[in-house]
Amino acid sequence: MTIFTNVEDLRQQSKRILPRMLFDFVDGGSYDEATLRRNESDFDSLHLRQRVMVDTSGKRLGRTVLGHAYDLPVGISPIGMGGFYYPDGEVVGLAAAENWNVPFTLSTLSICSLEQLRESTERPFWFQLYVMKDRAFTESLIQRAEQAGCSALVLTVDLPISGQRHRDIKNGLSVPLRFSGTHMLDVMRRHRWWRRQLRAKSKSFGNLTDMASAKDSKLMGLAQWCASQYDPSLSWADVSWVRRLWKGKLIVKGVLNSDDARHAIDSGCDAVIVSNHGGRQLDGARSTISSLRSIATAVNRQVPVLLDGGIRSGQDIIRALALGADFCMMGRPYVYALAVDGPKGLDTLFTILRNELEVCMALMGIRHLSEVDASCLDNPDHFSR
């Protein structure tokens, strides 16, 4: 029996289970992956302040965001192709989020569709949206999200064009998945993965089924069609357009500086997510944690500020809250855990994070997460230098 004590244990086990093509897709970043590495390493440069002889009994780990009280201060980010990591992966992820009372975000490029998730639950979830060149199709996705009862729309704004991801190119990643030569040999060695994927109901982008029957998508394939739909002409006017169409909570994801945070608020968003797309877009950009404090200061509590990128532990969550985040999101840890053992893997992940939070709070003299601020760090001004 494998014992998992941290997120890295889950990462290493998922690497053993998954075909290299799939592991590299979730694990990698763009170009030289400098921003990807900084997203994690910059957390380590923030020093937690230890406090002793403080009564921390009755700790509270919950956090409220956008009017909903969650049991942990971290939710699940949108991840493309989740159903390739575990059969019906997005449905499994949503069920785990319900069990742990944390938010779940379905990606536009998910394998399970909006309708499949709606059929699996009565609880609202979030839906992540790209504004595509085909505005009519984008509008139809917004309507489907409303019909599915989604409580928030997460509008990703940092993908006007796709950053080059060397690993994916070298691996020949495609959708639907196609394996040949050395890739097929690699897949055949991953018995645990391919045997369980045989029972998967969905094998392509569930939210794009309408486009799958279109002439251009047949010619190019869904992955190529998606790439052709990224729109370099996007502007804040498009965010305002989405705001007019969507009556629920609107979250803008992909903000990395204070000017863009203010633009997002002016465009009518209800929250912003500090994110650099997990280091998968502009390589050389700042890490999310190093960008957080200036954005939180500029927003000045007009809307909640969430952080996505680099969260790997309960300690990282405390660091993010200390620098001004109201809530945290995570993507890669969720996929590692999903790939390891589906529901059991996700239970393991959230148990690890909860335990790390509890121990960290006890050793820092924190009883409630509402007490976490810059005073909980010995060097809160580290990234202002």
Q: Work out the average pLDDT over 74-89.
A: 96
Closest CA to 229 of 338, 138, 303, 290: 138
Residue matched to tokens 């969720």:
334
45-58 residue pLDDT tens: 999 999 999 999 99
Q: How far apart are CA 255 and CA 264, in angstroms?
A: 8
Which of 103-112, 113-122, 172-181, 183-192 bottoms out in mean pLDDT, i.e. has the lowest?
A: 172-181
Q: Is the pLDDT of residue 363 over 90?
A: yes
144-181 residue pLDDT tens: 999 999 999 999 999 988 888 998 888 877 666 666 66
Q: Is the pLDDT of residue 30 over 70?
A: yes
So what's the pLDDT on residue 114? 97
Q: Locate 247 and state its tokens.
A: 């009556």
Are the C-beta atoms of 84 and 338 separated by less than 8 Å? no
Q: How far apart are CA 223 and CA 211, in angstroms?
A: 11
pLDDT band at 1 (very low <50, low <70, confident <90, very high): confident
So what's the pLDDT on residue 217? 44
| Alpha-helical segments (H) within the chain | 7-17, 20-27, 34-44, 89-100, 114-120, 135-147, 166-171, 182-189, 191-197, 209-212, 215-220, 222-229, 236-245, 258-266, 288-299, 314-322, 332-364
Residue 138 carries which side chain, given as an amino acid letter? T
Q: How far apart are CA 323 and CA 314, in angstroms?
A: 15
Q: Locate 37 and state its tokens.
A: 């590495």
- Interhelix angle 20-27/182-189, rounded to 10 degrees, is 90
119-131 residue pLDDT tens: 999 899 999 999 9
DSSP 18: S
pLDDT band at 222 (very low <50, low <70, confident <90, very high): low
Contacts of 169 (CB under 8 A, 6+ apart): none
Q: How far apart are CA 324 and CA 295, in angstroms?
A: 9
Q: Is the pLDDT of residue 32 over 70?
A: yes
CA of 326: how far to CAs of 62, 93, 190, 359, in Å? 11, 23, 40, 20
So what's the pLDDT on residue 221? 54
Residues in the chain: 385
Active site residues: 277
Superfamily of domain 7-384: Aldolase class I (3.20.20.70)
